[in-house]
Structure 1
Amino acid sequence: MSKLRPEYTIERLHERQKGTLPDLLGLRALSVDQGQLVAELTVRDQLLAPNGFLHAATVIGLADTACGYACLAHLPQNARNFTTVELKSNFLGTATQGTIRAVATGVHLGRSTQVWDATVTDPDGRTIALFRCTQMVLY
């Protein structure tokens, strides 16, 4: 099982995202611990679908980024990066305002692959999405 790499601080993760999709979404990583990462974003009109509800891509962007940052922070010492090879989402609810949060939890932290689950919750703490992704570790 990969251990948390202390060089991937919240500040370093925020620096890496400048000018990329997570930055555009307004994603904020809040904490990174062994086997877990917490991130959030504030819902705004630009992140809604034309029907007025939170766009699924916004939720996936939050969940996938939380899992990706967690994977990065848990790469084996000699690994250089990772890439997503599979992801799946189940949507159980939505939000139209406030802050949504993703908690990414490591399920399998191997040398060649990692599997991460994320639960996305609305401002009241209700689950709005369940997410799972598989990451290929790159050497």
Structure 2
Amino acid sequence: MKYSHEEILAACAKMCKNTLMETLDIEFIEVGEDFLTAKMPVTPRVHQPDGVLHGGAMVALAESVGSAASFIFLDGKHFYIRGIEISANHIKSIASGEVFAKAQFLHKGRTTQVWDIKITDAEGSLISAVKLTTIALPKK
């Protein structure tokens, strides 16, 4: 990585301004050589009608962290990153606190990337298991 972890997290925060990530209060909190982690508060803003975290909010969190990781690890200055397929298995419900999404490569190709994204609660219990495929499209 040619940028410091702090510089990468600051760049992620900057690109989230006025986006869905800001609306959902998603914050990128940790980056390593092969992963990116974000967190999202679980409040009534992201609940389904019966008071637990909405599956769609978890999928939005997962796609946000996976796409941001592709942007970071593939040098997004030269590519547009787009999610092209996502699947989620919601394992456990949660009504309050925070959830954490950690994206790690399953496949790092020049054109397509496959991400394993685990969403956990503060105690590390698995809430959702997500697989995301992204595509890197060259900027002209």
TM-score above 0.5: yes
Structure 1, unaligned runs of 5 or more: none
Aligned residue pairs, count: 136
Give SS of 2:95's match.
coil
Over the matched positions of the two proteins, sequence identity in percent amounts to 26
Deviation at 1:24, TM superposition (A): 0.4
Q: Which amino acid aligns with 2:45?
A: Q
Q: TM-score, normalized by length of structure 1? A: 0.91
Q: Which amino acid aligns with 2:58?
A: V
Q: Tell me the equivalent position of 2:10.
A: 11
Deviation at 1:78, TM superposition (A): 7.5
**Structure 1 residues 98 and 37: alpha-carbon distance in aligned structure 2, compared to 1, 3 A threshold:** same
* Partners of 1:31 and 1:38 within 8 A in 2: yes
Q: Tell me the equivalent position of 2:64.
A: 65
Please tell me whether residue 35 in structure 1 is matched to residue 34 in structure 2. Answer: yes
**Structure 1 residues 5 and 113: alpha-carbon distance in aligned structure 2, compared to 1, 3 A threshold:** farther
Q: Tell me the equivalent position of 1:89.
A: 88
After TM superposition, the structure 1 = structure 2 runs for residues 1-139 of structure 1, keeping only pairs within 5 Å, are: 4=1, 6=3, 9-75=8-74, 79-139=78-138
Aligned CA-pair RMSD: 1.7
Deviation at 1:77, TM superposition (A): 7.6
Deviation at 1:27, TM superposition (A): 0.4
Instruction: Describe the superposition over 1:7-56 as per-residue Cα deviations: whole angstroms up to 9, x where unpaired.
Output: 87100111111010011000010112221001101111111001111101
State the distance in 2 between where 1:123 and 1:93 align: 13
**Structure 1 residues 89 and 77: alpha-carbon distance in aligned structure 2, compared to 1, 3 A threshold:** closer
